[in-house]
A = this chain, B = another copy of it.
Amino acid sequence: MGVLYTENGQLLPPNSDIVTGHSAISAFWQGAMDMGIKTAKLETVELEGQGDTAFEVGKYTLGGEGGKVIDSGKFIVVWRTEGEKWRLHRDIWNSSLPAPG
List residues of A whose CB falls within 8 A of some B CB: 10, 12-18, 48, 50-53, 55, 57, 74-76, 78, 90, 92-101
Task: List the number of copies, as a whole number.
Answer: 2
Tell me if A78 and B100 are in contact (CB < 8 A): no
Of A55, A76, A96, A98, the most chain B CB neighbours within 10 A belong to A76
Are A101 and B101 in contact, CB atoms less than 8 angstroms apart? yes
- Least Cβ–Cβ distance between A57 and chain B, in angstroms: 6
How near does chain B come to A78, taking the closest CB pair, in angstroms? 5
Contact at B53–A94, with CB atoms within 8 Å? no
In the complex, chain B residues whose CB is within 8 Å of the CB of A51: 50-51
A50 to B53 Cα, complex, angstroms: 8
